[in-house]
């Protein structure tokens, strides 16, 4: 039997901030999205004050000020680095790890199946806490969907004390019967409404749906989801021999790039172009490499060659996904104080789009495909880069608003925490 | 008589992954050092055993000059190792981050400065040992 765990960091962004700023401990804290727009993370104290996810900061400013809520700009350099540490801390506790989001990681616990997994999970949580100060919750179950649900139970119900092991069918049924169907991973609002009309209100009732009925009602995704709730892993990954052929878009700059956003603008263009190329050949890529370097012939200037290889899962030809991967690569490999003169994006591990290995829960792919075709059509008709994602930049010199961002405590020497002596 | 013989190649012909942008194919003589190439010295790796549990901090103040740690120095603080008496530790004292030598005297723990004019701090209820200083880095000239 497969054993999957999901470890999830509690109030992740706030916990990262608190690791380095003790004045944030025990007081309400909210982290705002890019450009200081909306609340995207809240401490428990802020939740108790009724701050909701996505609340626009300017609309709730009065309430925030009245209660002395600390509002921070998001600091992704910090959150990304802390994630790396969390993943490193859990690795020895799992046969395999799959990073699902910045604060959630799936673990294959099958190699440890004969142990007391609650104790195992607690040892893992202890190690994460020690290495990073970040508190976590763990859900354990036979499938990913159930592990996600177990994690939510561990977080909400104090009974579990941070770890919910739902391998026991009786306990699992007890939780499923009390779990709202709308909160099940992968059930969207529209699906939840449809299910509601059929009288399906809990995860337990969804599990008892006939597979055929689930398929008729939703899509194959809902069918797989029901199977997962029944404890059958939907690892419907078709084994395909990938054509190991790559493609690259690379160019030298007219003017050297000395700041990260300028370089990112160039790399974004190359990623977009690479996406176009992929789609015109009806291929998807499994790996993206971004690289950039200084002028090697200018020996008196500081030299650096940055390169990062990013896995693309699910495999994709979606420019937005390529762009996101390229951005992560640039952020990881960027070094201040250099004049970069050349950059490129390479794609490999290419397979035909229709042979792409499917993964569960990849979101609404059809819509994404339509968006990409529209993008290609607009750019084909009106000239390349008529329609671009905002990250590509319309003009240089654009800056993100982040008035209250904490230092890059763990990734920049000039911004490391001070220790008073 | 064979002037030319074909040998079996003594190594497996497998596709090799070339490192990006680092290797070049020289047109001239191969370097005699090629087979003995090693990675350049990586000071960060030497200073930091467990990067996932290590944090770099900058020293601000003069209470540890006796231990050879000066204002502006960088220290590597590990959260993976257990603090022992005699270690230099980073502690949170009433929410304030400080760095001192951990000592045991008269049956209790103390955070002891190593310079004239500073007082030891008793480890109390509100004191948290945050990490252990495992390395020190300083540049003499920029």
Instruction: Select the highest-mean-pLDDT range: A336-340, A352-356, B27-31.
Output: A336-340
Rounded Cα distance between A297 and A256, Å, is 14
pLDDT above 90: residue B52: yes
| CA A258, A264, A265, A268 torsion-angle sign | positive
pLDDT over 50 (residue B129):
yes
Which one is predicted more confidently, A366 or A99? A99
Q: Which residue of A has its CA nearest to B22?
A: A305
Q: Tokens 């310079």 belong to which residue? A: B115
Q: What is the DSSP string of A30-53?
A: EEE-GGG-BEEEE-HHHHHTTPPT
The average confidence (pLDDT) of chain B is 85
pLDDT grade for A389, boundaries at 50, 70 and 90: low
pLDDT at A396 over 80: no
Confidence of residue A244 (pLDDT cuts 50, 70, 90): very low
> In chain A, what is the straight-line distance between the N-terminal and C-terminal CA atoms, in Å?
54
Spatial CB neighbours of A259, under 8 Å, sequence gap ≥ 6: none
CA separation for the pair A91, A77 (Å, rounded): 22
Kindly tell me if the per-residue pLDDT of A318 is higher than 50: yes
pLDDT value for B13: 46
More confident residue, A164 or A188: A164
pLDDT in the model for residue A382: 54
Three-state SS for A60-103 is: CHHHHHHCCCEEEECCHHHHHHHHHHHHHHHHCCCCEEEEEECC
- With tokens 């925030």, the residue in question is A64
A414 has a chain B CB within 8 A of its CB: no
- Neighbouring CB atoms inside 10 A of B27's CB total 5
- In chain B, residues with a C-beta closer than 8 Å to the C-beta of A297 are none
Using 50, 70 and 90 to split pLDDT, how confident is the model at B20?
A: low
Least confident of A5-19, A42-56, A57-71, B18-32: B18-32
**To probe the interface with A, which of B70, B77, B97 has the most A CB atoms within 10 Å?**
B97
> Looking at A77-86, A256-265, B19-28, which range is the least confident one?
B19-28
| Cβ–Cβ gap A419/B60 under 8 Å | yes
Lowest mean pLDDT among A20-24, A135-139, A219-223, A233-237: A233-237
pLDDT digits over A140-158, tens only? 999 999 999 999 999 999 9
- pLDDT of res. A414: 94
Interface subset of A 70-99, CB within 8 angstroms of B: 84-85, 88-89
Q: Is the pLDDT of residue A380 over 70?
A: no
Mutation target among B17, B19, B21, B47 for the A interface, most CBs of A within 10 A: B21
pLDDT of residue B5: 47
Select the more confidently predicted residue: A175 or A99: A175
Tell which wins on pLDDT, B46 or A377.
Answer: B46
Establish, for the pair of chains A and B, how many residue pairs have beta carbons separated by less than 8 Å: 81
Q: Give chain A's mean pLDDT.
A: 85
Indicate if ipTM > 0.90.
no
B79 interaction partners in chain A (CB closer than 8 Å)? 130-133
Instruction: For A173, list phi and psi in degrees, rounded to 5.
Output: -60, -40
Q: Using an 8 Å CB-CB cutoff, list chain A residues near B60.
A: 418-421
Q: Is 60 exceeded by the pLDDT of residue A392? A: no
pLDDT, tens only, A219-232: 777 888 899 999 88
């Amino acid at each position: 039997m497969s054993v999957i765990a999901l470890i999830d960091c509690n109030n992740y962004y706030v916990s990262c901030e608190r690791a380095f700023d003790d004045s944030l401990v025990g007081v309400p804290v909210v982290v705002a999205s890019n450009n200081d727009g909306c609340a995207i993370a809240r401490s428990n104290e802020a939740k108790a004050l009724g701050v909701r996810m996505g609340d626009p900061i300017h609309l709730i400013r009065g309430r925030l000020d009245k209660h002395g809520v600390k509002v921070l700009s998001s600091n992704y350099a910090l959150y990304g680095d802390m994630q790396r540490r969390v993943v490193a801390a859990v690795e020895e506790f799992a046969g395999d790890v799959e990073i699902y989001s910045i604060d959630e990681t799936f673990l294959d616990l099958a190699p440890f199946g004969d142990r007391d997994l609650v104790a195992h999970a607690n040892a893992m949580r202890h190690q994460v806490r020690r290495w990073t100060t970040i508190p976590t919750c763990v859900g354990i179950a036979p499938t990913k969907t159930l592990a996600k649900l177990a994690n939510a139970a561990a977080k909400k119900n104090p009974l579990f004390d941070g770890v919910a092991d739902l391998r026991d069918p009786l306990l699992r049924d007890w939780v499923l019967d009390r779990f709202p169907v709308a909160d099940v991973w992968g059930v969207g609002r529209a699906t939840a409404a449809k299910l509601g009309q059929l009288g399906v209100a809990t995860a337990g009732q969804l599990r008892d749906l006939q597979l055929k009925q689930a398929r008729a009602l939703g899509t194959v995704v809902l069918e797989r989801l029901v199977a997962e709730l029944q404890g059958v892993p939907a690892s419907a990954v078709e084994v395909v021999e990938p054509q190991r052929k790559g493609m690259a878009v690379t160019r030298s700059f007219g003017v050297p790039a000395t700041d990260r956003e300028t370089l990112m603008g160039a790399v974004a263009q190359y990623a977009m172009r690479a996406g176009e190329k992929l789609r015109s050949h009806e291929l998807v890529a499994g790996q993206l490499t971004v690289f950039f370097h200084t002028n090697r012939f200018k020996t008196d200037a500081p030299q650096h060659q940055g390169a990062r290889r990013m896995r693309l899962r699910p495999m994709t030809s979606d420019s937005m996904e390529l762009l996101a991967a390229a951005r992560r690569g640039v952020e990881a490999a960027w070094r201040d104080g250099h004049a970069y003169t050349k950059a490129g994006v390479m794609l490999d591990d290419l397979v035909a789009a229709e042979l792409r290995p499917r993964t569960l829960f990849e979101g609404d792919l059809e819509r994404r495909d339509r968006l990409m075709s529209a993008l290609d059509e607009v750019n084909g008709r009106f000239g390349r880069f008529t329609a671009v994602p905002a990250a590509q930049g319309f003009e240089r010199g654009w800056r993100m608003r982040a008035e209250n961002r904490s230092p890059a405590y763990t990734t920049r020497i000039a911004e490391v925490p001070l220790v008073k002596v | 008589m064979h002037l030319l013989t074909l040998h079996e190649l003594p190594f497996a012909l497998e596709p090799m992954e070339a490192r990006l942008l680092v290797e070049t194919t020289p047109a001239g003589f191969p370097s005699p050092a090629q087979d003995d190439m090693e990675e350049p010295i990586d000071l960060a790796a030497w200073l930091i055993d467990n990067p996932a549990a290590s944090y770099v901090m900058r020293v601000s103040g003069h209470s540890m000059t006796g231990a050879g740690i000066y204002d502006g120095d960088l220290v590597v603080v590990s959260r993976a190792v257990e603090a022992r008496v005699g270690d230099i530790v980073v502690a949170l004292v009433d929410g304030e981050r400080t760095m001192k030598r951990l000592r045991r005297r008269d049956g209790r723990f103390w955070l002891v400065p190593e310079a004239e004019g500073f007082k030891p701090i008793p480890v109390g209820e509100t004191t948290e040992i945050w990490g252990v200083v495992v390395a020190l880095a300083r540049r003499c000239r920029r």
